[in-house]
Amino acid sequence: MTGTVALNGEVRRLEELRLGDFLQSFFFGAGFFETFLIEEGAPRFLERHLTRLQASLTAHEGSVRAPPAQALTPNAVRESLRQCLAADAGLGPRFTGVGKLVAGDGHLLLTFRPLPPHHEASLREGLALEHLEERGYRRGDPLARHKSVSYLRQYAHLGRGTVFANELGELCEAPNGNLFFLLDDALVTPPVEAPCLPGIIRAVLLEERRWTDKPIEERTVRREHVEHAHGCILTNSVSLALPIPRLFGRALPHSAELARSVRALVEARARLEA
């Protein structure tokens, strides 16, 4: 992570921030976060990220202390992002990387990091998903639709090729993104009730409604449904669409093409909303 951050719109250095000003988040995981792509200085889908963040804060008014309302507007975040990039020669106004917002303890903290190492290679090669974790997710869990800093369940499974399933054996999501499966008749993703995070890229795809000749749909997905899948992608705000070349021991040769095509579609949408 880089040392330049913004706190409630003000440019600061990370090393100036005191733990004591973030105790509810630190002790109790009482905060929410958003991770978003920044390309050439421009944050992607910022309005959508802030709408989701606000929805989580509103749903937890009694337990998570929201930042000042004026810090949560797209214009305020764009302006503090611009000031951070200008203030730090290591970032610069045409910075490409990852932005992160954390809301809690009455603060909005904006931080930056470079793209993951080997980002381009990982977009090509993707990630095999071989491990089904079916002991923790609960269908309809209201908390799972919020991206909270109570994130240990997901964090502990990062990089392990995990797919989370619920008590009914329905597939939910990966620790770092939503899943879309290319089936005979549609490109499908589990419903939010599975549960899964209502991902930003997921929503963009569902709004598109079609991929080539197939509908894009929310649908309950069980393991047996994906035994004849033609492809699979993982979507999140940094990778946009990551190919899944292997799923539970089966090769999915069409995932790479699916990921490329979906990424182009999402990038076009991002430019429209910029």
State the residues that interact with its own copies by CB under 8 A. 1, 14-15, 17-23, 25-30, 33, 60, 62-64, 100, 102, 135-143, 148-153, 155-156, 158, 166-167
The least distance separating its own copies from the CB of residue 149, rounded to whole angstroms, comes to: 5
Torsion of CA 40, 42, 44, 45, to 10 degrees: -170
Closer residue to its own copies (CB): 21 or 273:
21
Q: Which is nearer to its own copies, 68 or 140 (CB)?
A: 140
CA triple 208-237-152, angle to 5 deg: 125
List, edge to edge, every strand of the sheet that includes 162-165. 131-133, 162-165, 171-173
Q: How far is the CB of 102 from its own copies (least distance, A)?
A: 7
State in angstroms the smallest separation of the CB of 158 from its own copies.
8
The smaller minimum CB distance to its own copies, of residues 139 and 219, is found at 139
Smallest separation (angstroms) from its own copies to the CB of 150: 4
CB of residue 260 to its own copies, shortest distance in Å: 30
Pairing outcome for strands 187-189 and 162-165: unpaired
- φ, ψ of residue 148 to 5 degrees: the values are -95, 160
CB of 11 to its own copies, least distance (A): 16
Instruction: List Cβ neighbours of 27 (8 Å cut-off, separation of 6 or more).
Output: none
What secondary structure letter does DSSP report for 200? H
Which residues have CB under 8 Å from 167's CB, separation 6+?
134, 137, 138, 139
Q: Which is nearer to its own copies, 127 or 183 (CB)?
A: 127
Cα separation values, 226 from 67, 167, 212, 217, 249, Å:
42, 18, 20, 15, 11
Closer residue to its own copies, CB minimum distance, 152 or 272: 152
Pick 78 or 139: Cβ nearer its own copies:
139
